[in-house]
Amino acid sequence: MLWGGVSGYAAACWRAMAARTDVALRVLVPAPNASAPFDASLMSGFESRLLTPTEVPNYELVRDELLKNDPQVIVLPGWMKPLHPTKLAADPKLAGRRLIMFLDTPFRGTWRQYLGKWANASYFKRLSLAVGAGDRSRTLAQILGINDSIVRTGCYGIDFPFFEPALAKRVEAGSWPRRFLFSGRYFSADKGLDLLVEGYRLYRERVTDPWELSTCGAGPDEGLVAGKPGITNLRFVQPDQQQALYASVGAFVLPSRYDPWPLVIVEACASGLPVLCSSRCGSAVDLVRPYYNGQVFASDHAEPVAGGMQWLHEELERDPSSGYAMGVRSQQLARPFGADFWAARWAGYFQEALREKMPGH
């Protein structure tokens, strides 16, 4: 598997797959960097190779590492140029191997996406399967001209058993925590950090005894959360510390302007949290049901962020047990994305690819 980057959720999935007896897994992935400073020890429990920043542009090195152990199936990361997937697919040295592409990009109706059908047509014809994150990715695959018969979903998973106890710990602590949590890159263009800060300010003006807000992440817009009333900046939190973090808060909020399929929403749901997020969060389609386990609001404006916070605040004032009820529903929606199910799903996709004739034959 040639993957886009190191993360806690991906490492949990790779360990689950490595535990299976029907798959021999090797992962090739760029090393952690300053924008996502994950501990490299996450990559224990399975065979892997971390690519340094100077190695990623080295096409021959990436190709040769990918072919180590003579794999029958190779998983490629969409059309991410730094990792050479389109060039790899055309390389004669990969001939005879099944190629599976994964993609999390949603259909957005942009001219670039429509042009992608022609720009990458030869690449797509070499695929045995294309695995999207959800139905929005399936729609894009169809627009790109990929035959729907080879399109699947469920390319991502999380460490569900790790996050699941957070709900019980929250309950054991007594009253439901009066604190929102944002987790993501400190980057307004995608994650809407500026909308979060302004929306939270508006919310504080409208209620008595407002909830606090914790933020965690790294990025160039960190200054936006500095010194703001009610906001605590926790900076980057490593995956092994996240269960305790999620157990200490009462709701998750993500006002992204563009977020193909954010895994933090899945992890928040697995932790038994109500979720407030924008409609631009692709995973909300699968995991957030309005007034059932949270709210999905319009993107690119602070007012809907404030409205979502105010709704949840007033809902728990009206019925203190509603936080727990929404948390239970969130966990039910997140369970299918557990690492064990992810590994079983991908192992099935590998077998499907091997059973089919090679593309073009």
Q: Which of 281, 254, 253 is nearest to 134 (CA)?
A: 281
Domain ranges in the chain? 8-157+338-355, 160-337
Unique residue bearing structure tokens 């996450």: 42
DSSP collapsed to 3 states, 101-131: EEECCCCCCCHHHHHHHHHCHHHHHCCCEEE
Check residue 94 and give its pLDDT: 95
Q: Which of 63, 80, 82, 75 is nearest to 120 (CA)?
A: 80
Where helices occur in 271-321 by DSSP H, the ranges are 284-287, 302-318
Q: Could you list the mean pLDDT of each consecutive 10-residue stretch along the chain, which spans 361 residues?
A: 93 96 96 75 91 95 97 95 95 96 88 87 96 92 93 96 97 94 94 97 97 96 95 94 97 96 97 97 96 96 97 97 98 97 98 86 53
- Residue type for position 111: W
Domain 160-337 -> CATH class:
alpha beta
End-to-end CA distance of the chain: 24
Whether 8-157+338-355 and 160-337 share one fold: the answer is: yes
Q: Rounded to 5, what percent of the chain is helix, strand, coil?
A: 45, 15, 35
Check residue 360 and give its pLDDT: 62
3-state secondary structure of 156: coil
Q: How far is CA 303 from CA 194, 215, 297, 312, 315, in A?
A: 12, 19, 10, 14, 18
Say if CB 84 and CB 123 are below 8 A apart. no
Check residue 80 and give its pLDDT: 82
Domain 8-157+338-355 -> CATH class:
alpha beta
DSSP codes, 46-70: SEEEEEPTTTTT-HHHHHHHHHTT-
Q: Please give the backbone phi and psi of residue 281, each rounded to the nearest 5 degrees, phi first.
A: -85, 110
Instruction: Please give the order of strands across the beta sheet that includes 129-132.
Output: 73-77, 98-103, 129-132, 151-153
